[in-house]
Structure 1
Amino acid sequence: MADVRTLGQFQDALDKEMSWRVKEIGVFKVASRRNSPENKPFIRAGVALTYAHWEGFIKKSSEIYIKYVDHKNLSYRDLKTCFAVFGLKSRLTTLVNSKKSVSNIDAFEFLIKEIYNTAKLDLASAVDTQSNLSSKVFCNIANSLAIDTTPYDTRFNLIDKKLVEQRNAIAHGEYLILSGADFSTLVTEVLELMRQYKTDLENAASLESYRRSI
Structure 2
Amino acid sequence: MTTLRFFVERGRAAEQYAMIRSGVCMLYAHWEGFIVMAARSYLEYVAIRRIAYGQLKRNFLAVGLSHKIRKLRDQRNVTGDMDLVDAILESAAMPMSRKAIDVIDAKSNLSPRVLRGILQALGLARDLVDPVEEKILEIRLLRIRNRVAHGEKIEIDISDGDYVGLHRKVVELMDRFRDCVLNAASRGEYRA
Q: TM-score, normalised by structure 2?
A: 0.90
For this pair of structures, how many residues does the alignment match?
A: 188
By how many angstroms is 1:92 displaced?
2.2
Structure 2 distance, partners of 1:184, 1:170, is 18
Structure 2 distance, partners of 1:76, 1:151, is 25
Structure 2 distance, partners of 1:35, 1:117, is 57
- The aligned runs of 1:1-214 (5 Å cut-off) are 25-36=1-12, 37-123=14-100, 125-153=102-130, 154-172=132-150, 173-175=152-154, 176-212=156-192
Q: Which amino acid aligns with 1:152?
A: V
State the Cα RMSD in Å. Answer: 1.7
User: Which stretch of the first structure deviates more once superposed, 62-71 or 79-88?
Assistant: 79-88
Structure 2 distance, partners of 1:110, 1:152, is 34
Q: What whole-Å deviation, never above 9, does each CA across 1:122-159 have from its counterpart, x for those lacking one? A: 24531111111111111111111111132412311111
Alpha-carbon distance change, 83 to 121 in structure 1, aligned in 2, over 3 angstroms:
farther
Structure 1 distance, partners of 2:128, 2:90, is 38
Q: Which runs of 5+ in 2 are unaligned?
A: none
By how many angstroms is 1:98 displaced?
1.4
Q: What whole-Å deviation, never above 9, does each CA across 1:88-139 have from its counterpart, x for those lacking one? A: 2233234422134334333422332221122214245311111111111111
Structure 2 distance, partners of 1:110, 1:150, is 31
1:94·1:107 contact (CA, 8 Å) conserved in 2?
no
Structure 1 distance, partners of 2:128, 2:119, is 12
Structure 1 distance, partners of 2:177, 2:6, is 24
User: Which stretch of the first structure deviates more once superposed, 55-64 or 178-187?
Assistant: 178-187
Q: Which amino acid aligns with 1:158?
A: I
2:116·2:127 contact (CA, 8 Å) conserved in 1?
no
1:134·1:159 contact (CA, 8 Å) conserved in 2?
yes
1:86·1:126 contact (CA, 8 Å) conserved in 2?
yes
By how many angstroms is 1:177 displaced?
4.4
Structure 1 distance, partners of 2:161, 2:87, is 57
Alpha-carbon distance change, 180 to 97 in structure 1, aligned in 2, over 3 angstroms:
same
Q: TM-score, normalised by structure 1?
A: 0.81
Structure 2 distance, partners of 1:179, 1:168, is 18
1:75·1:116 contact (CA, 8 Å) conserved in 2?
yes
